[in-house]
A = this chain, B = another copy of it.
Amino acid sequence: MSSRYVVIMAGGKGERFWPQSRLERPKHLLPIVGDEPMLTQTIKRLGEVVPPERVLIITNDEQREAVLEACPMLAPENVVGEPMPRDTAAAAGLAAVLVKHRDPQATFAMLPADHVIHDAAGFQAVVKAAFAAAEQAETLVTIGIQPDQPATGYGYIQREGVAAQAEGRDVFGVKEFKEKPDLKTAQAYLESGNYYWNAGMFFWTVPVIANCFASYTPELWQALQAIEQGLDAGQDLGPLLAEHYPKLQKISVDYAIMEPASQENKVRVVESDFDWDDVGAWPSIARHYPADAKGNVVRGALLTHEAHDNIVVNEKGHLTALVGVDNLIVVQTQDATLIVPRDRAQDVKKLVKQLNEHPEWKHLS
Contacts and interface: CB of A to CB of B under 8 A. Distances in A.
Interface of A: 18-19, 301, 303, 305-306, 314, 317-325, 328, 330, 332, 334-341, 344, 347-348, 350-351, 354-355, 358, 360-361, 364
A347 B323 CA distance: 7
A91 to B, nearest CB: 31
A350 B323 CA distance: 9
A318 to B, nearest CB: 6
Nearest to A353: B305
Nearest to A357: B303
A149 to B, nearest CB: 24
Identify which of A19, A317, A339, A351 gathers the most chain B CB atoms within 10 Å of its CB: A339
Nearest to A344: B324
21 contacts: A18-B321, A19-B319, A19-B321, A301-B360, A303-B355, A303-B358, A305-B347, A305-B350, A305-B351, A318-B334, A318-B337, A319-B337, A321-B351, A322-B339, A323-B347, A323-B348, A323-B351, A324-B344, A325-B340, A328-B339, A339-B339
Contacts of A324: 340-341, 344, 347
For chain A, what secondary structure do more than half of its interface residues adopt (helix, strand, loop), or is it mixed? Answer: mixed
| Copies in the assembly, this chain | 2
Given A317-B335, A325-B341, A337-B337, 4 more contacts: A321-B351, A322-B340, A323-B350, A339-B339
Contacts of A337: 314, 318-321, 330, 332, 337
A307 B337 CA distance: 14
Nearest to A360: B301
A320 B336 contact: yes
A196 to B, nearest CB: 33
A75 B264 CA distance: 91
A323 B339 contact: yes
